[in-house]
Structure 1
Amino acid sequence: MTSKIDDPYKVIGVKPDATDAEIKKAYRALAKELHPDINPGNAKNDERFKKVSAAYNFLRDPEKRRRFDAGEIDATGAEVPPREFYRDYAGSGQANRYQTTGDFDDLSDIFARAFGGRAGMGGGRYDSAGGMRMQMPGGDVQYNLEISFLGAVNGTKYPVKTPDGHSLEISIPAGIEHGQTLRLAGRGQPGFNGGPPGDALVHVGVAPHPHFERDGADILLDLPISIDEAVLGGTVSVPTIAGRVKLRIPAGSSGGRVMRLKGKGVSAKGRKAGNQLVTLRIVLPDHIDADLKSAIENWHKAHPYDARKGWKGER
């Protein structure tokens, strides 16, 4: 049995009335600090990053956040039963008639504590005494699975083992989105009296990435460049979801300029591949030395210009 999942607001470090923008800002700051790509080999940071990602995934789902705030679900997304109903049902003298799924972070735990079922009956078969035994389908197994951002956009496989010892490999199709559900036919609870087994419903959550964002089939990336690369141009190495590529920056590129890497976005089956949109962000050196300051001052005296000419930001 795993420990109770923490309050997602506390994990992210925001108040319950925080805006979506405030939650995203707090998450991105933590992701840059804790992401395994930035801190390889740090098991403590890895564990905290998983909790932060899970909390952010939970809070960025408007419906889950609303229901959690209303006390309808817990931090795992599991239903919180009405207290009166539980007391009445539990007091009926029927053993093991009501059981919560509990908290989980392990796929085997999830299969072991599967919940849900499908109403309805199939055909019947007779026992040796001539009585009819009703066939019923098995219950569906439901669980949450969090995958990495790159695993979602590129596709991946997750091998798991069920409580009865059988191996199960979950194939994640390329391009799957946060909140989608995969149905694994016949992987649920066994049927009753020869009825068909239920299905496994995999609710997929996608962990955010510290650098990439997704907009439909397009991948968004902010790329830091130096002041000399902006003025003089040059070729730089840029990460994509499929590996690093070279990008030529034209001379005289302003901060905020968007460069397109055609076909370097999400490529899902049956859909046209998206693009990667790279937004240039000019980053000044940590220290402005005398040479740089003097060069800019002299250039400014000889070439004065108004960077905000025609700008509509002030009314």
Structure 2
Amino acid sequence: MTYASAVDGTDRVGLLEDGEIHGLRSPARLVDLLGDDGERLARAAEEARRDPAEVVPLGTASLRAPVPVPPSIRDFMAFEEHVCNARGLPRGGLEPGFYDAPVFYFTNPAAVLGPHDDVPVSPGSAAFDYELELGVVVGRPGADLDPAEAEQHVAGYLVFCDWSARDLQKAEMRHGLGPAKGKDGATTLGPALVTPDELAPRRLGRAFDLQARVTVNGRPSTTSNFRDPLWSIGELLAYASRGTRLVPGDVIGSGTVGAGCLLELSALHGTEAYPWLHPGDRVQLSVEVLGDITTTVVEGAPLRPLRRRDEHG
């Protein structure tokens, strides 16, 4: 994981064990431990156990995103249930192309937040939403990967929250591009990078049996599981690498798990039961083994109009 050092406040990489972070002396960036089959991470873990620079209780640590500024972030739609819920369709009712290849968009690496950072509402939005996903960090570079072997390029997994301004997203996507500002404001990653061997006991076919929960102001919201994706992690990585190159530190989002956002829940149960997020709301997103993101939604920057209405030609 990445955290602010208790000594000087600079970012430091550490190993989490038994509720304590064992800080590495170097390097300062987790991405510098990637690039191979996981041996560098394993050696760093042993070094952190043997000779830590410091030991910090997890409860007092200021956590950063494990990879604070990824080289790229691709966010997929791997869960059919999510898309069908959001569109009011039965399972199997999406357009045929959805079942031919996974779809994704690129989101903003500069907008990555740590697991306890406040999340600002996107300027001009009145329909702010969380989206709970499984995140993957690429460990080994590669291009045109074989789906059957692509998971060998995974350094680890984490909780991924794609914060979405649904009203902005809906408006801009009418024009055939996007999402852009509807997704541009914040992506929360964390709390730690969990290596593949730690998730191996939860393997279920091509997926993972990981219970997922979200509460808003302590009230249960999402209850779901990552066991039922339409596309496996290997298939997502293979498609992401098609005709291009993945590099260490790239982040892949699985897409929202079924019932993993307010857009779905309000479509299923009504907006009164599941209203949009507002400043002051406290949101906790939890995934078994991977840990928790706990954050507060805050007021965003004021909307600055590009021009006056009477200036439109």
Q: Which has the higher contact order (CA 8 A, sep 6+)?
A: 2
Query: Could you tell me the TM-score, scaled by structure 1's length?
Result: 0.28
Larger strand proportion of the pair: 2
Query: Could you tell me the TM-score, scaled by structure 2's length?
Result: 0.28
Pair member with larger Rg:
1
